[in-house]
Amino acid sequence: MNPRSFSEFWPYYLGEHRSPLNRGLHYVGTSTALVTLATLVVHGRWWAPLVGLLIGYGFAWVGHFFIENNKPASFRYPLWSFLADIKMLRYKLTGRMADEMTRLYGSPNPAPGTPLRRS
């Protein structure tokens, strides 16, 4: 996989997040990271981003290593992965995540190995 754009990366990213439990861990991790970043801005806490990254990635890595049995995309694509984490959380909060998984993989919770649907 060598995506040349975020729009090419997005389907790959969701394919690495098929399990609803893994996505749930990402939602918790991403939310925590965003709250700690807000803490930095509001209260001037220099350590908040470090804590946010540790907690955010900690939840995500548990999901990848123990649930999905794959490597986090953040190892190869850190910026796109961060943006995709936020997009995935936004889709969840707006009720669009299940539809997006179905559009790309034919099910809101596709089985491992389910191929990407071609449009």
Annotated domain spans of the chain: 21-105
State which amino acid sits at residue 89.
L
pLDDT tens digits for range 29-58: 999 888 888 888 788 887 877 888 888 889
Q: How many CB atoms lie within 10 A of CB 110?
A: 19
Share of the chain above pLDDT 70, in %: 99
**Three-state DSSP class for 46?**
coil
Judge contact between 49 and 39, C-beta under 8 A: no
For residue 108, pLDDT over 70 is answered with yes
